[in-house]
Amino acid sequence: MPSEPAPNESQIDQRPLPSTSDWNNIGGTAQPQSLIAPIYFGDAIYAFAQSSSNTLALCKIDALGRPEAWRRYGFTSNSSPATAVARTSPDYLGVARLASPTTVEIDYIRPSAPEPINIVQASVVGGLPRGTVFAGPVQLVRNADSRLEAFALDTAGRMWQATEVARDPPPANWTRWQQIPGPILNAMAQQFQALLIDSGPNAGLVAVVALSRDGKMYRALQMPQQFGFYGNFAVVGTYANLSSSSFIWAPTVVFDATIQCMIFAAYNDTPQVDNSPVVYCFERPNSSDWKAFAADPNAPMPEASMVLTSTGNTTYLIGSADGGQVNLTSQAGATWSTNPQNVGAANPAFTLNLTAVANDNKIGLFQPVMDGTVAFINYLPR
């Protein structure tokens, strides 16, 4: 069967949502420590959440930017879910969730008919050594062969991966779990990241990025033309500019199409006195040094997870500051702006567990609030 390219804006009728100037509480009952999993598809944003009862929940932001009532499913979700486009013609979104300590389940959800009766499911099981227990974070990505791949981290710091066997109508059959070799990863990290690289020398390959127990960031790359097979995790960048490194919370990564390189960022728990704890790395053939922002009031200073995302020709680093203020720092030509933008108003009740989804030239941002409701803003950078 010939490969079908992953969906892009030329294949899906994407219609831009309006921007909003401030955070909107869209209700819900999410776990405050969890991360919302948003996806932009067609004329809407679909936000999946781990509910307060550890089940899956969905809120649709429609084409006019209005949140619909949360849809609560009875499917167990013991950690933050993950989502990706599963099929087009007909359309399905895939949602991965941790259903048990050893099982990840995939829900195939029709955006036009998300009722439980229309959902089909597959379980990813087998291949795990006796005693293996997943730590919580899961990721889902659609590869260049238009098949979903699932990733899960176990409590021993091992990364596991499985792939849809074929592009059959859902529910698809899946391979057994197989380990991606490498160092012991940090199973206590809030999240790891998996993404399909759109362009550049590694275009069409899936990358998996995680923090390790040695305090550094590592990346495993799909082997060319071998879907579902990965090389060893290898350290990202060089650390000569950092006196010490103890990266915590979660890594964030994006491919910048303008400067044709991967950009990585993390929070360093042991920064130098004159440096911000926020560190970044532009991965280039001759220079991949980790660097820190200067310690000044204009530097990003997250209190929780931060996000890298790109819209148009610009990459943005989104973090947070004291008092629940979310801020955004733009990057152009491998140079960060010294004038970060405030994203909406500050709110001390924000958890600052941020996730983002680019839509047109805007950035949809989600975070749980301490009372379990969810806040959303569709921010148009200035």
pTM above 0.75, yes or no: yes
| Order of all β-strands in the sheet with 44-50 | 37-41, 44-50, 55-61, 71-76
Sequence ranges of the domains in the chain:
24-379
CATH hierarchy code of domain 24-379 = 2.120.10.70
How many CA atoms, within 13 angstroms, populate the side-chain half-sphere of residue 381? 28
Q: What's the rounded Cα separation, in Å, for the pair 312 and 28? A: 31
Residue 66, Cα to own-chain centre: how many angstroms? 23
Q: What's the rounded Cα separation, in Å, for the pair 99 and 104? A: 5
| DSSP string for 279-332 | EEEEE-SS--BEEEEESSTTS---SS--EEEEETTEEEEEEEETTTEEEEEEEE
| Order of all β-strands in the sheet with 290-294 | 247-256, 261-268, 275-283, 290-294
Output the tens digit of pLDDT for each of the chain's 382 residues. Answer: 333 334 543 445 566 799 999 999 999 999 999 999 999 999 999 999 999 999 999 999 999 999 999 999 999 999 999 999 999 989 999 999 999 999 999 999 999 999 999 999 999 999 999 999 999 889 999 999 999 999 999 999 999 999 999 988 898 899 999 999 999 999 998 899 999 998 888 999 999 999 999 999 999 999 999 999 999 999 999 999 888 889 998 999 999 988 889 999 999 988 876 678 889 999 988 889 999 887 665 555 555 678 999 987 899 999 987 789 999 999 988 889 988 999 999 999 999 999 999 998 999 999 999 999 999 999 999 8
Taken in order 274, 277, 278, 282, is the CA torsion positive or negative?
positive
Considering only CA atoms, which of 250, 358, 243 is closest in space to residue 292?
A: 243
Instruction: List helix spans (H) across the chain.
Output: none
pLDDT of residue 33: 93
Considering only CA atoms, which of 142, 136, 147 is closest in space to residue 173?
A: 147
Contact (Cβ atoms closer than 8 angstroms) between residue 281 and residue 218: no
pLDDT of residue 296: 60
Contact (Cβ atoms closer than 8 angstroms) between residue 370 and residue 349: yes
